[in-house]
Amino acid sequence: MKKLNNLLDEINDNVKRALAEDIGAGDLTAALIPQDKELNALVISRENAVLCGMQWFETCFLTLAPQTTIDWLARDGDYVQAGQQLCTIQGPARALLTAERSALNFLQMLSAIATHTKRFTDAIAGTKAHIVDTRKTLPGLRLAQKYAVTCGSGVNHRIGLYDGILIKENHIIAAGGIKPALMKAQEIAPPEVFIQIEVESLQELHEALTAGATMVLLDNFTLSQLRDAVALILQRSSERIVLEASGNITLNNVRQIAETGVDRISVGGLTKNIQAIDLSMRFV
């Protein structure tokens, strides 16, 4: 089972595929540079951001030229300012030029996710809620993107279909209802796997709780409905029920949602709607 605390193989695989699609049969433009020429470079952030993706960035260069040295002036999870120097690089000119775009692509994309996540976590500071990611990720880059969420102080939901059960509307329809869906899930779930069920109304929440749900996704609930759902759970003080709000979550409403008392708020936009951080690599 893949976990975020064991990313080395994933990073190498991500970088291998990125370099292969960019270089193909060879970097024709880099061949203009003498083979033995060495260069120094530095990377600068053009905007305020949370840095993320150092290992992906480094691996792009080290894969092509293991003798490359990279000295970082900030670390993953650090808040960096516009104009701040992030690192210096020294190595063979051809390798630096060839790896530059892939390396920056990873650093810009992952820093964007970490930065956007941090905006959400800052917005709900002081509440008990946590910002949670989803499976709405770029194909082949899920672990990288979920790592970036943690650098922005967010929390990972299940990594994939194999490490958690999330019973959604279509599962409920196919299984014949909330109760039969939950009963089947409880029957087949390994001990370490959580079971979460999605509901779309307070009536469905009642039904799910009656069927033994301990983790519920409240889909597109209004603020009033969220407060009512939390109040219902508080009445059942002998049970530990986790409530997660989802659907149309924005920076404009996330604070109000957190203040209803829900435990988690899932935001697909953390990994789905990405505007890369503006970074610049300069040769000196």
Q: Tell me the per-residue pLDDT of 27-58, one tens digit each, with 9 for 90 and over.
A: 999 999 999 999 999 999 999 999 999 999 99
Percent of the chain scored above 90 by pLDDT? 94
Please check whether residues 254 and 278 belong to one and the same domain: no
Please tell me whether residues 55 and 87 are part of one structural domain: yes
Sign, CA torsion 105/107/110/116: negative
Mean residue pLDDT of the chain comes to: 95
Q: What is the pLDDT of residue 194?
A: 95
Q: Please tell me which residue in 10, 133, 204, 219 is annotated as part of the active site.
A: 219
Catalytic residue among 2, 119, 136, 179: 136
- Check residue 236 and give its pLDDT: 75
- Co-location of 264 and 278 in the same domain: no
CATH number of the domain enclosing 232: 3.20.20.70
pLDDT at 104 over 60: yes
* pTM reported for the whole predicted model: 0.94
CA pair distance 242, 208, nearest whole angstrom: 12
Closest CA to 136 of 13, 276, 271: 271
Residue 272 designated active-site: no
Confirm whether 1 is domain-assigned.
Answer: no
Range of the domain at 69: 8-121+274-283
Q: How far apart are CA 106 and CA 110, in angstroms?
A: 6
Residues whose CB falls within 8 Å of the CB of residue 51, separated by 6 or more in sequence, listed in order? 45, 74, 75, 76, 77, 78, 79, 80, 86, 107, 111, 114, 151
Co-location of 178 and 259 in the same domain: yes
The answer to whether residues 46 and 104 belong to one domain is yes
pLDDT of 3 strictly over 90: no
pLDDT in tens, 75-97: 999 999 999 999 999 999 999 99
* Residue 4 pLDDT > 50: yes
User: Residue 176, Cα to own-chain centre: how many angstroms?
Assistant: 33
pLDDT at position 1, please? 37
175 and 227, same structural domain? yes
Annotated active-site residue 135? The verdict is no
Measured distance CA(149)–CA(136) in Å, rounded:
12
pLDDT band for position 5 (cuts 50, 70, 90): low
- Are 75 and 112 within one domain? yes
Span 214-228, average pLDDT: 97
Q: Within this chain, do residues 92 and 222 fall inside the same structural domain, yes or no? A: no
Please determine, for residue 237, whether its predicted confidence score (pLDDT) is greater than 80: no
pLDDT tens, residue by residue, 151-196: 999 999 999 999 999 999 999 999 999 999 999 999 999 989 999 9
Contact 141, 274 (CB under 8 A): no
User: Using CA atoms, how far apart are residues 90 and 68, in angstroms rounded to an integer?
Assistant: 6
**CA torsion, ordered 253, 259, 265, 267, to nearest 10 deg:** 20
- CA neighbours within 13 Å on the CB side: how many for 106? 29
Judgement on whether residues 261 and 180 belong to the same structural domain of the protein? yes
pLDDT reading at 2 higher than 90: no
Whether 3 maps to a domain, the answer reads no
278-282 average pLDDT score: 96
How many structural domains is the chain composed of? 2
Q: Is residue 214 part of a domain?
A: yes
Instruction: Quote the pLDDT of residue 240.
Output: 84
DSSP-derived letter for residue 37 is -
Is residue 236 domain-shared with residue 138, that is, in the same domain? yes
Question: The domain that contains 82 carries what CATH number?
Answer: 3.90.1170.20
Q: Which residues of 200-236 are buried (b: 16+ CB within 10 A; e: fewer)?
A: beeebbebbbebebbbbbbbebeeebbeebbeebeee
More confident residue, 237 or 120: 120
Domain contains 2: no
Residue 210 resides in a domain: yes
Residues 114 and 132 in one domain: no
User: H/E element holding 54?
Assistant: helix 54-64
Tell me: pLDDT of 63 over 60: yes
Confidence of residue 284 (pLDDT cuts 50, 70, 90): confident
Catalytic residue flag (residue 219): yes
Residues 142 and 256 in one domain: yes
